Chain A
Amino acid sequence: MIKYLFFVMAIAIVAVAITAFTPAQINDVKASVKRGEKVYTKVCLPCHMADGGGVPNMNPPLIQTSYVLGDKTKLIGIVLHGMNERVPIDGDYYSNNMAPHNDLTDQQIADVLTYVRNSFGNKASAVTPTEVKQARLKKQ
């Protein structure tokens, strides 16, 4: 009987999780994107432009690039530590240095990257504050 009760409860929890939790998560992402847009406008837009297109040869685009859509830890690292190396981004080189933005909070960085990964034609998973926190602890 107790076993049966547990079973019912477990099902109920799963059901609640499926029906209630998932839409909440979607709302979280939506809210994160919305907050991220504000961070983007203030911090990123001056160089990466309103359309995320960047500036040829100077400031890289954020549209469908392997850096933006790829490894989240690496992407968080660029926001935290800036970028001043000569590396090709999908075959092209960009000459301007990017300042580190480690003054932003974990939440702000998660929001702005979630915004970037879901704007300008990009579609990729959200970045969470926990992921940013972990990336901060990682040695560069």
Chain B
Amino acid sequence: MKKKLIVFISVLCLYQMANANTIHSTDSVIVRSGSIQPDADNAGLILPKGFGALIVTSAYGKPRHIAVTPEGYLYVKLAQPFNGNGIYLLKDKNGDGKIDDAIGFGNYGGTGIALKDGYLYASSDENVYRYKLNNQHEVTNPNDPDEIIHGLLNRREHESKSITLDNNGNIYVNIGAYSNACQVQDRVPGSPGMKPCPILDSAGGIWQFKANQMHQTYGDGVRYATGLRNVVGLDWNTQTNSLFVMQHGRDQLHDNWPKLFTVQQSAELPAECMYEIHKGDNAGWPYIYYDQIQHKKILAPEYGGDGKKTAGEDAINPIMAFPGHLAPDGLLFYTGNMFPEKYKHGAFIAFHGSWNRAPLPQEGYYVVFVPFKDGKPTGEWEVFANGFAGKPPITSARNAHRPCGLAQGPDGSLYVTDDNKGAIYRIIYTGK
């Protein structure tokens, strides 16, 4: 019996090794990932067949966005400094998939982090900094970064300054509107909308700056797109050579306009929208919102709307519309080779999960996938990774893992941060 068991285990091991080698036979970095095993219960995640997940660490504060170097090192930007450090460089030195080495620097909280052409870019809620990298993609000036952008508005609400870069030396920064719907009195029932909305001159849009110029502020940048209430997830699509963003739609249709919207309608509306952005675009906030059920741009109640009147003829249409309040915080176009073909060039979106659906159960604590071909969606969105908030119904955000940042590893792994309980997940394709 014992002998049989040993033979069985040996065969199993051989099979595992062979499998790892056939899947990952071309690249030395990729071969290494063959030894990485999912956590026993896939770290609590529910994934499509053939995928597995592990938590690489939960020990470094509240990670917002994340970037991965060609060596597989992680840079994470923390919401607030942890042990005095707002950024961590995390390494898995022994190759078991778990983080076993950490270097902290940057004494500021924030959201944005990106790697581009020999530099690490990171944002606080007001400024954007860059750090020079050595040939191992480690920062050389952790205590003395270049301040490339400063003085961006932070009035508490929608304060994250998410960033992404194109291939022409530009950096794109979200400056969220410090308001829900540009009312005279923010979030006050019945308060009318300001017209024109004064917030839009310095927030509620995406600004473009030069990636290599020091000390820029509003006057040095270009308001690349306006009418975007708040964007946290954004990515440069290298196939279309254009910017894609995920807008957080407005809150409180029922709370502020109870005669016009039911609790149920307010929980579902308005859509969280994916937009493809070109220079000069206007997405319509605060004057309109997108209703994903009527498939129309609707005049906001603060500006005389009733839930039916359409408006915003000059505003762009979304590429895709998602249910209300799910809070898309991460966007990534997948270019890796590890996942099956259908995922190539498609979009992963990390939804943070709702709060403004109460008293109805909360939704959207998951990572979604949208298939793309030639820069256009080819099908409906689907939930890719679920289970971050445990079993439904979800009534509270505070005990959930909340997906926030996304990044792709050199082997094609997908990393997902959770900025509530601090987990960093790595999702791999095992084919089993």
Interface residues of A (CB under 8 A from B): 41, 45-47, 49-51, 53-59, 61, 82, 84, 86, 93, 95-100
Contact = CB atoms under 8 A, between A and B. Distances in A.
A50 B159 contact: no
Nearest to A50: B395
B157 A50 contact: no
B156 A99 contact: no
B149 interface: no
Contacts of B186: 84, 97, 99
Contacts of A86: 156
B187 A46 contact: no
Given A99-B185, A99-B188, A100-B188, A53 B156 contact: no
Interface string B179-211: 010000111110000000000000000000000
B358 A45 contact: yes
A95 B156 contact: yes
19 contacts: A46-B252, A46-B358, A46-B359, A47-B355, A47-B356, A47-B358, A49-B355, A50-B395, A55-B355, A55-B397, A61-B398, A84-B186, A86-B156, A95-B156, A95-B158, A95-B159, A96-B157, A97-B156, A100-B188
B213 interface: no
Nearest to B176: A95
B246 to A, nearest CB: 17
Nearest to B79: A57
B255 A51 contact: no
Nearest to B398: A53
Nearest to A52: B396
B187 A54 contact: no
Nearest to B252: A46
A108 B417 CA distance: 42
A45 B185 contact: no
Interface of B: 79, 156-159, 180, 185-189, 252, 255, 355-356, 358-359, 395-399, 402, 420
Contacts of B158: 95
Of the listed residues A46, A58, A93, the one surrounded by the most CB atoms of chain B closer than 10 A to its CB is A46
Nearest to A48: B358
Contacts, number: 64
Contacts of A41: 359
A50 B396 contact: yes
Contacts of A96: 156-157, 187
Contacts of A82: 188
Nearest to B263: A46
Contact of B396 (A53, A57, A98): A53
A-B pairs, 8 with minimum CB distance: A55-B355, A99-B188, A53-B398, A95-B156, A97-B186, A99-B187, A53-B396, A55-B397
B359 A59 contact: no
B398 A54 contact: yes
Given A47-B358, A54-B398, A84-B156, 11 more contacts: A46-B255, A49-B396, A51-B395, A53-B399, A55-B355, A56-B420, A82-B188, A86-B156, A95-B156, A97-B156, A97-B157
A14 B180 CA distance: 56
B356 A46 contact: yes
B355 A97 contact: no
B357 to A, nearest CB: 9
A41 to B, nearest CB: 7
Of the listed residues A49, A56, A82, the one surrounded by the most CB atoms of chain B closer than 10 A to its CB is A56
A112 to B, nearest CB: 15
A53 B400 CA distance: 12
A50 B358 contact: yes
Contacts of B397: 49, 53, 55-56
Of the listed residues A58, A93, A99, the one surrounded by the most CB atoms of chain B closer than 10 A to its CB is A99
A53 B362 CA distance: 14
Contacts of B396: 49-51, 53
B398 A56 contact: yes
A56 B420 CA distance: 7
A50 B399 CA distance: 14
A54 B397 CA distance: 8
B157 A95 contact: yes
Contacts of B185: 99-100
